[in-house]
Structure 1
Amino acid sequence: MEAKHLMQLAIILDCGSISQAAGKLHISQPTLTKNMQTLEMQAGGSLFTRSRHGVRQTALGGMLAREGRAIATSVWAAEQSATRFGLGMQTELRIGVGPLVASLLMHTVTEALLRDYPSLSLLIQVDTPYRLFEKINDDELDIAVAPTVISASQELDRITLFEDRLAIFASRHHPLAGKERIEIDDLVGYPWVNIATYAKFEESPVERLQKAGLKQVNTHIALAGDATICLNILPTGDYLSIMPERLTNIAAPHYGLQSLPVAADFGERNMHLWYPPALAGDAMLDAVARAFMETLETATAVPPA
């Protein structure tokens, strides 16, 4: 089988039409049809069915199309690497981060790294910790900044960047904001905004709250892949959210938020720099770790009176 035929199959199925796919690929429709006939002969079965509504994949076609998309993604990544190299960016680093780190720290970390390494090319992906670890193991990322995830990080080494704990955040105008001590039952009845509820193999925010003794959690909004939505929503009502305290405190003054003095332990949320053992001793690891530590220290420093 030819890789280009698999990629062409994926485009046909994505377009739903051979003629549209031919136009997108800039080849003639007869040529594309011939290529699919060749691929069907090699695969030993039909790849899609035709009707007046377009084409519909068969089970075999769907499986081969997935491989075609993966090939297309690898080709695109190679083209981007070549382009960056041609522009003088001779060192590439692929970093994965979670949504809160991406929103609050990554822009400053990026500036620091590019200042010290002018020819560095950065590729930054935002995702859940488990997916970031999968991407490192699949060689789609070099490193990831994330907390510990049970069973997902066993093959990776780590550098601890900073320690943190989970806390409950709300608007400064929230009905509970003025209390000196809040019991876990005082949180019942308020709407919650949860980040990373769907993170695989992690305790979700709801599970953390239930573990701390809160039996009723009314999740009105659940987010995956974005933290700024949560930061913007919290000041608009009586919402609550469980978030890393040290990290969220960076943004709290700007958004009018504060952590609530809840008499409960919601657990650690320490942040680490994860990397494959093959990268041990690489100077870039220390550079990235240093950039994160310095950025956090500056962001959380108490201004002089």
Structure 2
Amino acid sequence: MEMPRLFDGRLKVRHLLLVDALSRQGTVVSAAAELHVTQPAATRSLHEVEDILGVELYERGPRGVTPTVFGEAFTQHARAVLAQLVQAGRHVVELAEADRGTVVVGTHLAGSNILLPRAIAALKHDHPHLTVIVRESTPEELLLELEAGRIDLVVGRLTAPSGEGLLRRPLYEESIELTVRAGHPLVGTSGIRFADLVAYPWILPGPQTALRGEVEGLFARHGLGLPENRVETTSFLTVRQLLLETDVVAVLPALLVRDDGRLAQLPVPLEAVGHSVGVTTSATRTLSPSARAMVRSLEEAAAGMSGGGHPQDGAAAGPDGETAGPDGAGHGGPGGRQSPR
């Protein structure tokens, strides 16, 4: 097979956008709708990029398209190129507008209730014209957004060490607790066994989350199946309202409900269920000045949280005792925030 000619002017950015959309959406119709083009135009563009590369990127089926091994590989590179273009445009804006940059943060359940709001408040205090955009989704969807350069960093549970193009920086350890409303019949009851809880309705993490797998293992270790009366969601607003209005039992990070007097934690130990909360960034892109400022603010907020402790040992100390973040830049302490410029 000859080397594809990618620099002869035929390959366009629209081809890269189409490949990214197709791999996520799974159908030409959905990809075309996302890109605001007609289905025939999207089909024609797909044929063009496959002709340029000399391979078939997708297997066509009655229910959509599935990436071939070539499609998976090219999608990864297409997303990396698109991410660099997004960063280039934003970097130019930040250079032109000084403190008026933008940082896009993805978040899921852990870290979204206390850590991220405190970090944003501190960042906005020092840089009021810096725009912070927060996007909430599942961990898997956020990692795709991070890979494509649509978000700068992800704040939440760390489920694996750094690798595969990602840098994961732990900030603090957080336990998982069984949470109910303050007026729940079990509050104040001693000697509660895990088996006693199965009769109540439950809220479980969604099946796409790592925490769900750990909860399923917890039930299995007690010789129990999952409760039949259950709701599955990763939306904290939904979880909280159901907790307040019903006798449901929820599995939640401890800090999410620490300061909520209307909720209570049951004294039932959850063996081997806990996690590190931290920041995930791309290993292949340099953080923008605004994103570096956001990471510094997250580090400082984590260090100041009682129960959160200090940033974890995954941080590398610089020659002056400062902490090196995911981009390798030195970060000052609480009194030493630097401008994102």
Give TM-score scaled by structure 2 length: 0.59
Q: Is the 8 A contact 1:158 1:274 kept in 2?
A: yes
Q: Is the 8 A contact 2:174 2:254 kept in 1?
A: yes
Identical amino acids, percent of aligned pairs: 17
Higher helix share: 1
Compared with structure 1, are the counterparts of its residues 208 and 14 closer, same or farther at alpha carbon in structure 2 (3 Å cutoff)? Answer: same
| Residue 299 of structure 2, aligned match among 289, 292, 305 | 289
Structure 2 counterpart SS, 1:164: strand
Q: Is the 8 A contact 2:112 2:156 kept in 1?
A: no
- The Cα shift of 1:152 comes to 4.3
- The Cα shift of 1:32 comes to 9.0
Q: Unpaired runs of 5+ in structure 1?
A: 49-55, 300-305
Q: Is the 8 A contact 1:197 1:205 kept in 2?
A: no
- The Cα shift of 1:245 comes to 1.8
Q: Is the 8 A contact 2:115 2:298 kept in 1?
A: no
- CA distances 1:225-275 after superposition (whole Å, capped 9, x unpaired): x2211111122222111112233223x32xx22111225545333433456
Whole-Å separation in 2 of the counterparts to 1:248 and 1:292: 17
Compared with structure 1, are the counterparts of its residues 129 and 4 closer, same or farther at alpha carbon in structure 2 (3 Å cutoff)? Answer: closer
Structure 1 counterpart SS, 2:275: coil
Structure 2 counterpart SS, 1:269: strand
Q: 1:267 aligns to what? A: 273
Compared with structure 1, are the counterparts of its residues 4 and 230 closer, same or farther at alpha carbon in structure 2 (3 Å cutoff)? Answer: same
Q: 1:243 aligns to what? A: 252
| Residue 116 of structure 2, aligned match among 73, 98, 106 | 106
**Which 10-residue stretch deviates more, 175-184 or 263-272?**
263-272
- The Cα shift of 1:287 comes to 3.1
- The Cα shift of 1:111 comes to 1.9
Give TM-score scaled by structure 1 length: 0.64
Structure 1 counterpart SS, 2:125: helix
Q: 2:182 aligns to what? A: 172
Whole-Å separation in 2 of the counterparts to 1:32 and 1:134: 22
**Which 10-residue stretch deviates more, 238-247 or 120-129?**
120-129
RMSD over equivalenced CA pairs, Å: 5.0
Q: 1:124 aligns to what? A: 134
- CA distances 1:64-113 after superposition (whole Å, capped 9, x unpaired): 99689846676566556655665554555454432243244433421211
> What amino acid sits opposite 1:168 in the alignment?
L
The aligned length equals 279
Structure 2 counterpart SS, 1:101: coil
Q: 1:185 aligns to what? A: 195
Q: 2:331 aligns to what? A: none
Structure 1 counterpart SS, 2:251: strand
Q: Is the 8 A contact 2:204 2:212 kept in 1?
A: no
Q: Unpaired runs of 5+ in structure 2?
A: 1-5, 59-63, 309-341
Q: How do residues 182-261 of structure 1 correspond to structure 2 at under 5 angstroms?
A: 182-200=192-210, 203-211=213-221, 213=222, 215-218=224-227, 220-224=230-234, 226-250=235-259, 252-253=260-261, 256-261=262-267
Please tell me whether residue 158 in structure 1 is matched to residue 169 in structure 2.
yes
Indicate the structure (1 or 2) with the bigger Cα radius of gyration. 1
**Which 10-residue stretch deviates more, 173-182 or 140-149?**
140-149
- The Cα shift of 1:187 comes to 0.8
